[in-house]
Structure 1
Amino acid sequence: MVDYLKSRNAFLFQGVGSDYQSLLNLLDEEQLKLLRKYCSIVESELDLDLWNYICHSQETKYDHFFNDWIAIYTCDNLVYDKYISLGVKPEIFLGYSMGLITAMVCGKSISFETGLHMLQSIYEYPKNTSGQEESMATIIGLNYQQVENIITNNNLSKSVMIASENSKYCIVIAGDISGINKILYKSEEEGAIKTVKINVPYAFHTPYAEKGIDKFINFVEKIKIEDSTIPIISVFNQKILQRAPDLKNELVKNTPSPMNWKNSIEKVIEFDITSFVEVSLDDSLTKISRVIDTDCKFFSYRKILRLKNVQLNG
Structure 2
Amino acid sequence: MKAYLFPGQGSQFIGMGKNLYKNSFLAKKLFQLADDVLEFRITSIMFEGTMDVLKQTKYTQLAIYIYSVIKAKISNDFNPDMVAGHSLGEFSALAAINVFSFENGLILVNKRASIMQKICESIHGGMAVVFGLDDSIIEDVCKNDSGIIVPSNYNAPEQLVISGEYQALKRVCFSLKERGAKKIFILPVHGAFHSPIMEPAKKELKKFINKISFKDSKCPIYQNVTAQSVIKSNDIKKNLVEQLTSPVKWKQSIENMITHGAISFTEVGPGNILQGLTKKISKNLAKKI
One of 126, 132, 139 as aligned partner of 1:148: 139
CA RMSD of superposed structures (Å): 2.9
Question: Deviation at 1:232?
Answer: 0.7
Instruction: Give 1:72's aligned residue.
Output: 64
Residue number in structure 2 paired with 1:19: 12
Q: Quote how far apart the aligned CAs of 1:14 are.
A: 1.3
Q: Name stretches of at least 5 consecutive residues in structure 1 with no aligned partner.
A: 1-7, 297-314
Does the CA contact (< 8 Å) of 1:159 and 1:175 recur in 2? Answer: yes
Task: Give the drift of 1:19.
Answer: 2.0
Corresponding position of 1:4? none
Partners in 1 of 2:100 and 2:142 — Cα distance?
39
**% identical aligned pairs:** 24
Equivalent residue runs for 1:51-66 within 5 Å: 51-57=43-49, 64-66=56-58
**Secondary structure of 2:210 counterpart:** helix
Counterpart Cα distance in 1 of 2:273 and 2:236: 25
Deviation at 1:110? 0.7
Shift of 1:197: 3.5
Alignment of 1:1-314 (within 5 A): 8-21=1-14, 27=20, 29-31=22-24, 34-57=26-49, 64-82=56-74, 84-85=75-76, 87-126=77-116, 131-152=122-143, 155-156=145-146, 158-294=147-283
Amino acid at match of 1:247: I
Task: Work out whether residues 57 and 113 of structure 2, in 8 Å CA contact, stay in contact via their aligned partners in 1.
Answer: no
Distance 1:295 1:90, change over 3 A: farther
Q: Indicate the larger mover: 237-246 or 185-194.
A: 185-194
SS at match of 1:125: helix
Q: TM-score normalised to the size of structure 1?
A: 0.80
Per-residue CA deviations over 1:266-303 (Å, capped at 9, x if unaligned) read 1111112121111122011112221111299xxxxxxx
Distance 1:53 1:14, change over 3 A: same
List structure 1 segments (4+ residues) > 6 angstroms apart after TM superposition: 59-63
SS at match of 1:66: helix
- Residues 48-74 of structure 1: CA deviation (Å, up to 9, x unaligned): 312221221159999732212111111
Query: 1:108, 1:226 within 8 Å by CA — same for their partners in 2?
Result: yes
Amino acid at match of 1:52: S
What is the alpha-carbon distance in structure 1 between the residues aligned to residue 190 and residue 267 of structure 2? Answer: 25
Deviation at 1:235, TM superposition (A): 2.5
In structure 2, distance between residues paired with 1:52 and 1:96: 25
Instruction: Provide the rounded CA distance (Å) in 2 between the counterparts of 1:13 and 1:282.
Output: 10
* Segment of structure 1 superposing worse, 123-132 or 244-253: 123-132
Moved more, 183-192 or 92-101: 183-192
Q: State the Cα distance separating 1:138 from its structure 2 match.
A: 1.6
Unaligned runs of 5+ in 2: none
Quote the Cα distance in structure 2 between the aligned partners of 1:30 and 1:121.
30
Cα shift at 1:246: 1.6
- Secondary structure (helix, strand or coil) at the match of 1:252 reads helix
Instruction: Give the CA deviation at 1:261.
Output: 1.3
Q: Quick one: distance in 2 between partners of 1:218 and 1:259?
A: 22
Displacement, 1:210? 1.2
Distance 1:181 1:17, change over 3 A: farther
- Structure 1 residue matching 2:5: 3-state secondary structure: strand
Render the CA deviation track for 1:74-111: whole Å, top value 9, x for unaligned. Answer: 111122234x41x2531101121121111110111111
DSSP 3-state at the match of 1:211: helix
